[in-house]
Amino acid sequence: MDNFSISSLPIEQLYIELQSSADGLTAEQASKRNRERLKSDKPETRFRRELRILLRQFLNPLVLLLAIAVILAAILGESSDAFIILFILMITGLVGFWQEANAGRAFEKLRKMIENKHDVLREGREIQVTSQQIASGDILLLKAGDIIPADCRIVESNELHVNESTLTGESYPVEKMIGEVPDNASLTKKHNCLWQGTNVVSGTAKALVVQTGNQTYFGKMARSLAQTPETAFEKGIRRFGYFLLHITVILSLVILIANLYFKRPLFGSVLFSLSLAVGMAPELLPAIMTFVMSAGARRMMKKKVIVKKLSSIFNFGEVNILCTDKTGTITEGNIKVKGIVGINGKTNNQIQVYAWLNASLQNGFTNPIDEAISSLNFNLPGYDKINEVPYDFIRKRLSVAVEYNTRRFFITKGAFVNVLDVCSQFQSEDLQVKPLDDSIRQKIEQQFVFYSKQGYRTLGLAYKELIGNKVSRQDEQQMTFLGYILLEDPLKETTQSSIERLKQLQIKTKIITGDNQHVALNIAREIGIENQIILSGEEMNSLSPESLMVKVVEIDVFAEIEPQQKELIIKALQKSKFTVAYIGDGINDVAAINAADIGISTNNAVDIAKEAADFVLLDKDLGVIADGIDEGRKSFVNSMKYIFINTGATFGNMLGLAGASLLLPFLPMLPKQILLINLLTDVPFLTIASDNVDAQQLEKPGSWDIKMIRNFMIIFGLHSTIFDFLTFYVLYVHLKLTDIAFQTGWFWESTITQLLITFIIRTRKPLFKSEPGRLLLITSIISLAITILLPISPFAGMLGFVAGNSQQLLFLFIILVAFVVTAEITKIIFFRFGSNNRSIKQT
């Protein structure tokens, strides 16, 4: 059925077309339709996904050129060298594939843990299914916070408002209701339809699923909508890759032209230049980045943080401000009712019953406040719910219409100010209804301030008599103020220690809450926030964007904040050059979660908050966030280790080889030997993700700085090149070695220096004061052993090696010792002065 014909048909006709009913599908029907949809949608299978990863290892243009060149060499008679080079390329590619495929599998397992669930009617029974199990003909039961998983037609609705900004760009929620709309109406005018990818802001509904998967309006736009902006780290990696690739291509072309000018053999020159290019190119970068991120995701999972967007791990390591609501993160989140009292501070049965009826009869969406009030021990037969006006974040009220015997009345509770605003009367101590004049209003407000200063979250409660069944938000007027609902949410025992730990990580915590200033100030005192100046939502509205940028940096507590103001605070902090994380779990937090550099939600959050988040916490605790930031920094540091190693020793060695090839009457190293160095050093590089990280490198947030990387490449590249030319001088001039003997000596020096520099650069401490990861150490020792033993192995002749004499080995040993000592000194000087000991910033 065409997407654009679902709005005009009568509901009964749609049931017939979809072979469904008001009771929904049968289990058998749903299962059959899902199988048919999967056949038509053809989602990417694991085999295809991993085949794509495998092919990507070999689709590097430089690798493809080298493969073509060696095939041509084999055709022209150089078959043994050609097969050896192809074998080395295959092994290197397979190692990268294995790491990346494993990382992908682990990530998919984590994502399945936080799949969104939806309430549907099947055979008249309400059950929960995942998004993938929704079938055309299902009856969806929707409430505030739900993401709509398919294109639907509304069957029933109550004050339903939906955010359609993902499709229309319109930021204001759209009211939806039953009815019939012409097929040719625009998407924005089809008020009787719901679209996949949008979300319910307020109200409830029953909806008939018409289109699913690729047949939905959203599905047809999936390619354009699925693109997510690059993180700062991804941008830096891409720029670094292009930067290094340009240098590689230019250098290789220069070497090729020079070798041809000196009338060296054509194929030997081509293979040498291409091998040099492959040796310098960061072809393992995608695999290493994926593995580092996946390893970080697994470590985070152990600390109860699920990573939804893998690339955001690096951003987590850059965070220097954390914005949080207080409920459930700073406080226990287990709200308790401390009292339900009238304006005289005393309780009575009527107030308690009305509060309980409002909370227990509403079905807008589950929340801790209504759960706490509903848990009060009341058993009240005879009260029937007529209707309700669900809570939303504009009115900040929830109203329920109730019938008892022949009497009908309307009960409203919500934010104190918003409830008092719709009251024109109050209930006195003797339970008489009287007009609400200014003096009484002032007394009620003073009592509210008194309760708030004691740390209670204080709601207002009101009622009015009703005539008729139909109710709407327009009925919330001329009400009678009954009293206060006093709620308590004690601080978590871990809050103060968690905030202290975040301080040690140089992360500032800011509280953004919708609660009133008195409650916010009380919490700030309890958790030890030194700066207790508060900015309220009302004060914020009077500030210019420039003033807000100044205020958000100075102030740590924001109270009475509206949902859209949370987003403004986040963006103002970002404009002030901070990397901001925001944690939230409600509909009112979605805009802020989207705006933040790192959006964090919890596993019990509303669907739309989980969908918007980069990370989902299994345990809503600031300590868990500190653990996550710690792991993010570890991932960042380990990734930078590979960048530094690749730009330092690898670049330096290849530069040395390139220079030597212009001075020697023979190739300083055979193409297969260059690729063998690449393979032997790549294996340890792939284990960088599991390496230990020094505590001092986790103290500050860091981010991508390509200028510092360039400086590092120049300094350490030149350092490595100097030792390469020293090796060249000793082998060729002093020891008079040529061809195979020279190539063997230089192979030893190049490979061993690259393995050694890994351990030097991996820490900013002296080499022997930092313990490397076990896997890095083991793979490096294996690569070192293979490097030393190859020239005396049965494969020596095939690879162009010969055993060295004792004099050659002694000189190489002295050069390697000098290399380690000078590299250590260079490292200390560079990181002490060259990087300015600053928090690294994007350039």
**Residues annotated as catalytic (active site), given as ranges:** 325
> Nearest 5°: CA angle at 118, between 117 and 121?
140
Question: Which of 34, 28, 18, 25 shows the shortest CA–CA distance to 131?
Answer: 34
What is the C-alpha to C-alpha distance for residues 483 and 488, in angstroms, rounded to an integer? 17
- For residue 314, count other CB atoms closer than 10 A to its CB: 27
CA distance 96 to 281: 14
Of 414, 371, 388, 398, give the one whose Cα is nearest residue 604: 371
What are the CA-CA distances from residue 510 to residues 500, 502, 527, 596 (Å)? 13, 11, 12, 13
Which tokens is 370 given? 């209504």
Query: Rounded to whole angstroms, how far apart are CA atoms 450 and 169?
Result: 44
Euclidean distance between the first and the last CA atom of the chain, given in angstroms as a whole number: 51
Within 8 A by CB and 6+ apart from 236, the residues are 703, 704, 705, 706, 842
Q: Tokens standing for 130?
A: 């995942």
Instruction: Report residue 629 as tokens.
Output: 């930031």
Between strands 139-142 and 199-211, the pairing is antiparallel
Amino acid in the structure at residue 717: G
Location of structure tokens 């359609």: 164
* Token pair recorded at residue 803: 């055993």
CA atoms of 521 and 513, how far apart (whole Å): 11
Q: Name, in order, each residue with C-beta under 8 angstroms of 396's C-beta and a sequence gap of 6 or more.
A: 414, 415, 418
Please report, as a single letter, which amino acid is at residue 69: A
* Half-sphere exposure of residue 218: CA atoms within 13 angstroms, side-chain side: 21
Distance CA(484)–CA(414), nearest Å, equals 10
Tracing tokens 């313990």 back to the chain, one arrives at 771
Burial class (CB in 10 A: 0-12, 13-18, 19+), 369: buried
The answer to whether residues 327 and 489 touch, using CB atoms and an 8 Å cutoff, is yes
Four-residue CA torsion sign, 335, 340, 345, 346? negative
CA 143, CA 124: separation in Å to the nearest integer? 18
Cα torsion 173, 179, 185, 188 to 10°: value is 0
Q: What is the DSSP code (8-state) at residue 243?
A: H
Helix pair angle (622-645, 739-761), 10° resolution: 160
Is-contact 412 421, C-beta < 8 A?
no
